[in-house]
Every structure is written in C-alpha cells, then in structure tokens.
C-alpha cells in the first residue's frame, strides 16, 4: 500500500511541476522602444521634410507654419502616455493561478481515483493474509459450534459426519476419530465412512494401520470390495505386516479401479513394481503409506485439475509435508467450501473437489465462482504457518476442469 501511494504522489508532483514551472520561472519584461522617444523621432523626421519643402518653394510660409504647429500638437498629445504596462505585466507571477493548481490537481486526482479506480484493491492486497488467517480461525470456530450443537443432538448422523470430516481437514485427528466413531455407530454400513475412520485413526497412532484401523478397512471391504481408500489402506496394512502376497493382490485390485494411464494408475503401478521387487529380494525404497487420491466422481459442481510445485521450490518439499487443497468463494466469506488433504509425496497429482468434501454444511456447487488454493504445510496444520508453500488459481465456475495450480509462493 505504501509503495502504491508513493508512486501516486510522485506522479501528481511531476504533473504539478510540468504545469507550474513555466508560471514560476523569472519572466523578463519584453524589451519595447520608449514610446516618447519614438514619437519625437517621427516629429523630427516630418519637420525636416517640411523644412526641405519650404526651402525648395514647394510650400509657403503659412503652410509650413501651420503644418509644424499641427505636428507639435500631435507630439504633445502622444508624449507621456503609459507605454510600459505590458512589459510590467509580463514580469508578474500569476500567484492566484499557481495556488489554484496546487489545490485542484491533487484533489481532482483523488476524486477521479475514488470514482473510477479500485481503492479497495489497495487495502485488500495488504490485508489479504490477515483476512486469510482470520478465516481459518472462523472455520475452527464454526466447527466448534457444530460440536456444541451435536451435544444436544447426539443422533444427528449427518452432523457427526460433517464434524468428523471438518476435524480431519483441520488436522485435529483425535477429535476427528471420536466424531468418526460416533458417525459409524449411527451409520454402520457405509464403506467410505469406515475407510475415512480407519485413515484418521491411523494418523492418531503415527500413521500405523495395525490394529483397529486395519480392522475398519477390512470391514469396509466386506461391504464394498472395490472401495478405493479401503483397498489402499488394507494393502498398506499388509505391507506393514510383511504380507507381500496379500499386499500385492490388494494393490492389483486397486489399480483395476483407475483408468489406464491416469496418475493414480501410475502411482499404484509403481508400488506394485516395488512390492514385486521386494518379493524378489530387491532393496526396498519408499512406499506410499497413504492411499492415492480417490475422490468421489465429479458432480455438476465439482472442480478438477492438477497441482504441481514450481522448480524453484521443489527442493523445499519433503515427504513428511502435508498438502491441503481447498476451494473458497472468490467473493464474500473466505470459509473453505471443500477441502482435500494428502501427503506431499503424491505431488504432482490430479485433484477433484466437490460437495462431499464440504465443511460444516458448505456447498461448493452453490458458489457463483471459486478460487482453488493449494498449500504445502510443514507442520501438518490446516492454519497457514510461515515457511509453508502455496499457490492459487484464478476465479473459476463450479464444474470447471483443467484448473491447474502451481505452488510457487512462500508464506511469510
């Protein structure tokens, strides 16, 4: 903001300088002949001409005397007239005009900018980061309000699902696990909900799937053998247990769920190749401990695209970082309308946001236009921290595809 007003002030000052310099510089009076001397010179010339005519006999004494008298009267009427006023006026500075310009030019500039410009853009650029941080606190407040409301409505299954997903998106895993436990008690046969519960429960025990998370994933697969997240979680649990044959079968089932050549298919194929290498005694490298992106099918209000990291910041991304992708209305409240979270080791990747990822009842499809933001969190916290990496899209309509985001900024 300070830089903008500095440039604006310099432009106004330059304009005033161009206008006032010709008025303020020293103006010399225009050198004009003395009018009295000029009149006397004319008189002398005409009298000499009359004298010559009289001497030559062209005119008589009476005519000569009468013409000389007339010349004398004319000379007397001309001598003493004010003749230096123009020169005096030329050297006088028009101070009233100077003062008027000093007042009017800045005033006109401010009024025109207020009417035709965008004054709010100056303030919004400076306050955007603080507004963003405030929006995250507002989201946390809304989630806490939902939790308080559910204390009086313990059988509200949809409310518990919303609360669990909101806690999960905010990185509040113990609270999310409790909410998922309540939600799955009310809705015991939803395989997607069971898989989400297994995922967040694994986060509370250091990303380990052994025990209850693995049991929940198996329970989800019993209800839907092709549930993507449950397949990935069960395959990862088998890897942890060193059951390579079981893990390989599960990864192959998962790969069959994705279109050939898609990013998800390539990721799963890489894991399958690694498991096969482990079975053959090849050295073990890093294996994805979290499922590949398995977002719901696109609806009319979904937004999809690809997220990547700029080459300048790629070296600052570590495998333990967390990626948050969220949509917010381009105008109005900054509360996220949909949130997606996954490990940074999956970058670059395709993403999809829709109404099923809404927080506290928010609807992506209801917005007139949205901005998609991606942030790599070093702490795993949903609230931006200094050192995080971020990027965003231009405003797009719900239902847009190919909304690509490059993470190329560092949060200060």
Q: For position 161, which CATH number holds?
A: 1.25.40.10
- Report d(CA 182, CA 153) in Å as an integer: 12
> What is the chain's alpha carbon radius of gyration, rounded to the nearest angstrom?
43
409-410 and 370-377 strand pairing: unpaired
Both 100 and 158 in a single domain? no
- Report d(CA 396, CA 258) in Å as an integer: 27
pLDDT value at residue 48:
74
pLDDT value at residue 294:
42
Q: What is the pLDDT of residues 196-211, one digit of tens each?
A: 999 888 888 877 888 9
Average pLDDT, rounded, for the chain: 75
Both 9 and 58 in a single domain? no
Portion of the chain with pLDDT greater than 90, in percent: 14
Both 357 and 385 in a single domain? yes
Both 69 and 17 in a single domain? no
Both 74 and 109 in a single domain? no
Average pLDDT over residues 124-143: 57
**Is 109 within the bounds of a domain?**
yes
**Is 261 within the bounds of a domain?**
no
Band the pLDDT of 271: cuts 50, 70, 90.
confident
Nearest-5° Cα angle at 145, 183 to 165: 35
Both 52 and 159 in a single domain? no
Of 361 and 85, which is predicted with more confidence? 361
**Is 285 within the bounds of a domain?**
no
Q: Which 3 state secondary structure label does DSSP give 342?
A: strand
- Report d(CA 237, CA 244) in Å as an integer: 10
Residue 53 belongs to what domain range?
Answer: 35-90
pLDDT value at residue 342:
87
Chosen domain end from 243, 260, 292: 243
What proportions of the chain, in percent to the nearest 5, are helix, strand and coil? 55, 10, 35
Looking at the predicted structure, is the pLDDT value of residue 19 above 80? no
Looking at the predicted structure, is the pLDDT value of residue 216 above 90? yes
Both 106 and 64 in a single domain? no
Both 164 and 235 in a single domain? yes
- Claim: this prediction has a pTM higher than 0.85: no
**Is 405 within the bounds of a domain?**
yes
**Is 153 within the bounds of a domain?**
yes
Q: What is the pLDDT of residues 376-396, one digit of tens each?
A: 988 777 777 788 899 999 999
Average pLDDT over residues 271-286: 62
Average pLDDT over residues 249-274: 82
pLDDT value at residue 298:
42
71 φ, ψ (degrees, to nearest 5): -65, -40
* Region class of 306: left (phi > 0), else alpha (psi between -120 and 50), else beta: beta
Both 401 and 353 in a single domain? yes
**Is 274 within the bounds of a domain?**
no
pLDDT value at residue 29:
42
**Is 269 within the bounds of a domain?**
no
Alpha-carbon torsion angle 232, 236, 237, 243, nearest 10: 120
Average pLDDT over residues 230-254: 88
Our count of domains for the chain comes to: 4
Residue ranges of the alpha helices (H) in 57-94?
Answer: 61-78, 85-90
Of 44 and 292, which is predicted with more confidence? 44
Both 62 and 141 in a single domain? no
pLDDT value at residue 150:
86
Band the pLDDT of 24: cuts 50, 70, 90.
low
**Is 257 within the bounds of a domain?**
no
pLDDT value at residue 105:
67
Both 135 and 45 in a single domain? no
Average pLDDT over residues 62-75: 69
Chosen domain end from 207, 224, 243: 243
Q: Which of 42-51, 167-176, 323-332 has the lowest mean pLDDT?
A: 42-51
């Amino acid at each position: 903001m300070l830089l903008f007003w500095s440039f604006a002030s310099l432009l106004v000052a330059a304009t005033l300088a161009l206008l006032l310099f010709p008025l303020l510089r020293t103006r010399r009076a225009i050198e004009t002949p003395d009018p009295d001397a000029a009149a006397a010179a004319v008189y002398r010339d005409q009298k000499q001409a009359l004298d010559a005519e009289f001497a030559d006999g062209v005119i008589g004494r009476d005519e000569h005397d009468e013409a000389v008298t007339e010349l004398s009267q004319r000379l007397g009427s001309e001598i003493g007239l004010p003749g230096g006023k123009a020169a005096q006026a030329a050297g006088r500075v028009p101070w009233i005009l100077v003062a008027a310009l000093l007042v009017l030019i800045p005033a006109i500039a401010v009024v025109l900018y207020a009417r035709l410009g965008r004054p709010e853009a100056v303030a919004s650029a400076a306050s955007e980061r603080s507004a963003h941080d405030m929006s995250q606190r507002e989201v946390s407040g809304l989630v806490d309000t939902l939790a308080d409301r559910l204390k009086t409505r313990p059988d509200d299954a949809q409310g518990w699902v919303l609360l669990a997903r909101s806690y999960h998106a905010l990185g509040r895993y113990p609270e999310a696990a409790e909410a998922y436990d309540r939600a799955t008690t009310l809705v015991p046969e939803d395989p997607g909900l069971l898989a989400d519960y297994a995922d967040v429960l694994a986060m509370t025990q250091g990303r380990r799937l052994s025990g209850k998370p693995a049991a929940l994933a198996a329970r989800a697969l019993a209800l839907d053998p092709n549930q993507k997240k449950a397949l990935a979680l069960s395959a990862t649990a088998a890897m942890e247990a060193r059951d390579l044959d079981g893990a390989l079968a599960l990864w192959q089932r998962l790969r069959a769920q994705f279109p050939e050549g898609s990013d998800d298919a390539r990721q799963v194929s890489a894991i399958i190749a690694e498991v096969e290498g482990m079975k053959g005694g090849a050295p073990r490298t890093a294996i994805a401990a979290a499922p590949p992106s398995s977002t719901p099918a696109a609806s009319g209000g979904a937004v999809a695209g690809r997220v990547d990291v700029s080459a300048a910041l790629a070296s600052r991304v570590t495998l333990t970082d967390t990626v948050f992708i969220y949509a917010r209305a381009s105008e109005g409240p900054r509360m996220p309308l949909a949130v997606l979270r996954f490990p940074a080791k999956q970058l670059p990747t395709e993403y999809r946001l829709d109404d099923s990822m809404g927080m506290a009842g928010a609807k992506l499809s209801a917005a007139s236009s949205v901005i998609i933001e991606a942030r790599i969190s070093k702490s795993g916290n949903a609230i931006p921290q200094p050192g995080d990496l971020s990027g965003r899209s231009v405003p797009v309509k719900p239902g847009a595809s190919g909304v690509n985001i490059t993470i190329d900024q560092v949060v200060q």
